Amino acid sequence: MSMNASEIKSVARTNTVALLSDVFEANDAVQFADASWAILQEVDGQEVWTEITVKSKAYKPTKVSPAFDPYEVAEEWKAEKEMKAAEKKAKEEEKARKIAEKKAKEEAE
* pLDDT for the residue 53: 98
Q: What is the pLDDT of residues 95-108, one digit of tens each?
A: 999 999 998 888 88
* pLDDT for the residue 106: 86
Sort 37 into a burial class: Cβ within 10 Å, 0-12 / 13-18 / 19+.
buried
What does pTM read for this prediction?
0.73
**Residue (of 67, 69, 48) closest to 58 by Cα position:** 67
CA–CA gap between residue 80 and residue 84 (Å, rounded): 6
Could you give phi then psi for residue 54, rounded to 5 degrees?
-100, 125
Q: What is the pLDDT of residues 20-79, one digit of tens each?
A: 999 999 999 999 999 999 999 999 999 999 999 999 999 999 999 999 999 999 999 999
Name the pairing type of β-strands 36-43 and 30-33: antiparallel
CA–CA gap between residue 52 and residue 32 (Å, rounded): 10
CA–CA gap between residue 18 and residue 48 (Å, rounded): 25
**Residue (of 50, 28, 56) closest to 38 by Cα position:** 50
